[in-house]
Chains A and B, each alone.
Chain A
Amino acid sequence: MNSNVNSNKNDKPILEVRDLHVRFDTVDGVIYAVNGVSFDLYPGETLGVVGESGSGKSVTMMSLLRLIPEPPGRIVSGTARFRSREDDLDLLQLNMRQRAKIRGNRIGFIFQDPMSSLNPLITIGEQIKESLERHTKWRGPEARQRVVELLEHVGIPDPDARYGNYPHQFSGGMRQRVMIAIAIACDPDIIIADEPTTALDVTVQAQIVDLTRRLSEELGIAVIWISHDLGVVAGIAERVMVMYGGTVVETGVVDDLYAHPRHPYTVGLLGALPKLHENVPELVNISGTPPSLFAAPSRCPFEPRCPWAFKTCRERRPALESVQRDGHFSACWYDMEKDKPREVRR
């Protein structure tokens, strides 16, 4: 997959994921969580990853640095080439020590529930300082000064006093700011944000989105923003990747994808969204339920729920192909641009 349009046209991707397969062996069966996902991430860009629960969006990203539990999880195959100023390596081939050097240092994380990532017994300041001392040359009072600057940078009022506070003394939104401070502390190349605003109120969510966007621009950090909310993604992402049933079904530049969705699932999702700005008589029902993840996908995963589905969809799995719009790809046998089934070479 080659993206023609991105924010830094001439740059090579900082992250190239190819044909990633991840499975979980459970007592209920084998879960086919990620089934051949490929994507690129360019330096400094923000990639929104959208999908419902079980779509594989989080597992894909967490697998890159082996943050899924193994076992039951198992990375079956795939490559993830990470190319920064210093490094050029396959993330999936790293040993534990090499991974530890990348994690939290070159690639930062922000999770949905900041409380679970923060130690309740250590002050906020010390926790950021610890991360800083582990990965950088900052030490002692200088490191402390740097932490205070970071806290100020993420918009925590009175950072010098807040340095000595414990996580429970912060509100949900403030804790998420702390997580962002930890994520950017080592000046990473990539930040992976896994539903960072889902647990927050809308007014706080708006603040966090603004902050992330500002930091990404200022520091030139590439951001992977995982979310189930197309609205939030519209506000932060430059490119969007839509996932369904463990596969990428559509990807494109955000404006183009929202205005001209070319995969039936994206079309349905945009129609199912309640609109604050207009009143529609009835929301679109994407009938049916998400696909069973316990079976290896052999056909199009969206076929049972798709109003455009025809014979080929039940027989073969579609691959991502260009939809004759710049940088816009869709994995669908139906050509929406021409409004007829795609020519299929047998």
Chain B
Amino acid sequence: MRIDAIDQRGVYSPLRRFMKLILRDKAGLFGVILFLLIVLIAIFAPQISPHDPLQQNLRLSRQPPAWQAGGTWEYPLGTDNLGRDMLSRIIYGTRVSLTVGFLGVLIASTLGLVLGMLAGYMGGRTDSFIMWITNLFLAVPYLLLVVVVASILGRSLLNVILIFGFTNAPLFVRITRGEVLRIRKSGYVESAISLGASQGRILFDHILPNLIGPLLTVATFEMSGMIFYEAGLGFLGLSVPPNIPSWGNMLSAGRQYIQFSPWIAAYPGLAIVFTSLSMNLLGDWLRDVLDPKIRRSA
């Protein structure tokens, strides 16, 4: 008995399909491009910054952006109250934000993946214990934790990253656990058991690869959230030390000049908005693209 190959007439080539998939979601495409641009800016900050972000020049303090009266193209986005170049500071601020986002999510997702897989796969007491700890963690207001840690250990980038990593882990634990429970009941895990597969094989060959997609999507959203909150903490003076150019710090510094020199607060604010936006769009886009089953839906 022989059956024909699948009738593929008229089906788009993988490349065209991929292009369709990308172009279909215009907002997603915008998010992807914006995100890549932001990452490039962070990496090449020293090369593209017109000035040293820490270079003070009080004579040039609070110079408006180039297109306003009194502005020069020497300082395209103007200067802050200490005469530092706004553009360069925003460019360097990207580094702080992305570092916090990337590393924070890395810690949170790694913790979440390990604990979530344990809880979901082992079940029983292990599950109860992990979920109990997780819920306990969720109940602690993170702002309080930040204030306490910052006052004990001092303000540092590492502290912020660690706090974000740990406070966000419960979310990843829950999502991983839920996915593991779902995948464990799936037909392909059942069939692997019926084939005599070992526990390790089921966990690492069947469950783990199917976790990546959903987790990556959540990670993107979480990263956006962390960048947002880092800026918030910076604004409250609880994040990185004030000598490091971060968007939150800049926002905080610009607050008192908002009436006469609004650009000092406005441009870091815009940077936060666009970064956050790009990641949310990216997350939506990833959800679609990573799903191997997305088919016959446009």
Q: Which residues of A approach B to under 8 Å, CB–CB? A: 24-31, 71-72, 285, 287-296, 304
Interface set, chain B 264-298, CB cutoff 8 A to A: 294-298
The reply to whether B20 and A27 form a contact with Cβ atoms under 8 Å apart is yes
The reply to whether A289 and B10 form a contact with Cβ atoms under 8 Å apart is no
Interface band, chain B: 20 to 34
Minimal Cβ-Cβ distance residue in A for B13: A29
The reply to whether B3 and A287 form a contact with Cβ atoms under 8 Å apart is yes
Cα distance A291–B4 in the bound complex, in angstroms: 11
**Contacts known (A292-B11, A294-B11); A26 close to B297, Cβ less than 8 A:** yes
Contact with A along B4-28 (1 / 0, CB 8 A): 1011111110000100110010000
Q: Which residues of B approach A to under 8 Å, CB–CB? A: 1-4, 6-12, 17, 20-21, 24, 294-298
Q: How far is the CB of B187 from chain A (nearest CB, A)?
A: 19
The reply to whether A27 and B6 form a contact with Cβ atoms under 8 Å apart is no
Nearest first, the 7 A-B pairs at minimum CB distance are A294-B10, A72-B298, A295-B10, A292-B7, A295-B9, A292-B9, A27-B20
List, in ascending order, chain B residues with CB within 8 A of A24's CB: 296, 298
Cα distance A142–B81 in the bound complex, in angstroms: 76
18 other A-B residue contacts (CB within 8 Å) besides A289-B6, A293-B10, A294-B10 = A24-B298, A26-B296, A27-B21, A28-B11, A29-B10, A72-B298, A285-B1, A287-B2, A287-B4, A288-B4, A289-B3, A292-B8, A292-B9, A294-B8, A294-B12, A295-B10, A296-B10, A304-B4
Main secondary structure, interface of A, reads loop
List, in ascending order, chain B residues with CB within 8 A of A295's CB: 9-10
- Sample (8) of A-B pairs whose CB atoms are under 8 Å apart: A27-B24, A27-B298, A28-B12, A29-B10, A291-B7, A292-B8, A292-B10, A294-B9
Minimal Cβ-Cβ distance residue in A for B294: A27
Q: How far is the CB of A303 from chain B (nearest CB, A)?
A: 12
List, in ascending order, chain A residues with CB within 8 A of B12's CB: 27-29, 294
Minimal Cβ-Cβ distance residue in A for B7: A292
Minimal Cβ-Cβ distance residue in B for A30: B10
Q: How far is the CB of B287 from chain A (nearest CB, A)?
A: 14
